[in-house]
C-alpha cells in the first residue's frame, strides 16, 4: 500500500454577497439601510438584540415575480430549487459591452451548453465591484439573451449589477422575459474573487410573506485539492 496520502477534494465556499451596512449604495430614491442595537448585554440583560430597516432590494438580493408582475408569486411562495445547484459564471468584465446591455453575441461562445445543463448563469461585469458608490451606468441584460438562455434550459439568471434592466428602463424588457419563461433572478452579486467557470450556487432568499424580493447570502461552492 502506498504511504502517500491522497488528498481528498474539499469544498471551498466563496462569498459573493454584499455586506449589509450603513451607507450601502441603494437604488436612487429607495430606502437607506439603517440598523440599531436596542438591547445591550449588561447586568440586567443577557443578550444583544438589534433591529434593521431596509429595502427588500438592498445589496445582493432575489427578485420575486411579484416585483414585476402584479399577479406574480411573492417571496415566501417562490420555489427554492432555482437558488441551489450547478451554475456557470461568465466573465465579461474585460469586454466592452455595446450600449451597456449584454447581448447573445457578447457571451454565447462563453456559455457551455455541451457537458452540463445551463440551469443557472451568473454574469460578472465588474473587475472591481463598486461597493462604496452607486453606478448609474451599470450593465444590463438583453431580453434576447434571456430568451436564448431559457430555450437552453436556464432557470436562473444572476448579475453583479443592481438590475437586469437599465436604471431608467420603463418597459422592463429583461424582467418581462424572465416572467415569460418562469425564471428566477439574482442581482447585486459580487465576483471580485471569482473566476469564470463552474460552481455550485447556494443563494436562498428569506421566507418573506407578501413581499417582492429578499436579500440573500449568496455563496459559490467549488472543490479545492
**Is 40 annotated in the active site?**
no
Q: How far apart are CA 115 and CA 196, in angstroms?
A: 16
- Catalytic residue (one of 67, 128, 175, 181): 67
**What residues act catalytically?**
67
Amino acid at each position: 500500500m502506498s504511504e502517500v496520502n491522497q488528498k481528498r477534494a474539499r469544498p471551498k465556499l466563496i462569498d459573493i454577497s454584499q455586506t449589509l451596512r450603513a451607507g450601502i449604495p441603494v437604488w436612487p430614491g429607495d430606502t437607506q439601510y439603517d440598523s440599531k442595537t436596542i438591547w445591550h448585554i449588561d447586568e440586567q440583560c443577557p443578550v444583544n438584540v438589534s433591529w434593521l430597516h431596509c429595502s427588500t432590494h438592498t445589496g445582493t438580493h432575489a427578485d420575486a415575480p411579484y416585483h414585476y408582475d402584479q399577479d406574480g408569486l411573492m417571496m415566501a411562495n417562490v420555489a427554492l430549487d432555482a437558488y441551489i445547484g450547478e451554475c456557470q459564471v461568465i466573465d465579461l468584465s474585460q469586454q466592452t459591452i455595446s450600449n451597456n446591455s449584454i447581448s447573445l453575441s457578447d457571451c454565447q461562445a462563453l456559455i457551455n451548453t455541451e457537458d452540463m445543463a445551463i440551469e443557472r448563469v451568473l454574469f460578472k461585469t465588474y473587475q472591481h465591484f463598486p461597493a462604496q458608490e452607486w453606478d448609474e451606468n451599470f450593465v444590463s441584460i438583453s431580453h434576447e439573451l434571456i430568451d436564448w438562455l431559457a430555450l437552453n434550459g436556464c432557470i436562473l439568471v444572476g448579475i453583479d449589477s443592481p438590475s437586469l434592466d437599465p436604471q431608467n428602463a420603463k418597459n422592463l424588457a429583461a424582467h418581462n422575459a424572465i416572467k415569460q419563461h418562469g425564471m428566477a433572478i439574482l442581482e447585486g452579486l459580487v465576483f471580485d474573487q471569482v473566476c469564470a467557470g463552474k460552481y455550485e450556487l447556494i443563494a436562498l432568499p428569506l421566507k418573506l410573506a407578501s413581499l417582492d424580493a429578499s436579500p440573500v447570502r449568496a455563496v459559490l461552492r467549488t472543490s479545492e485539492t
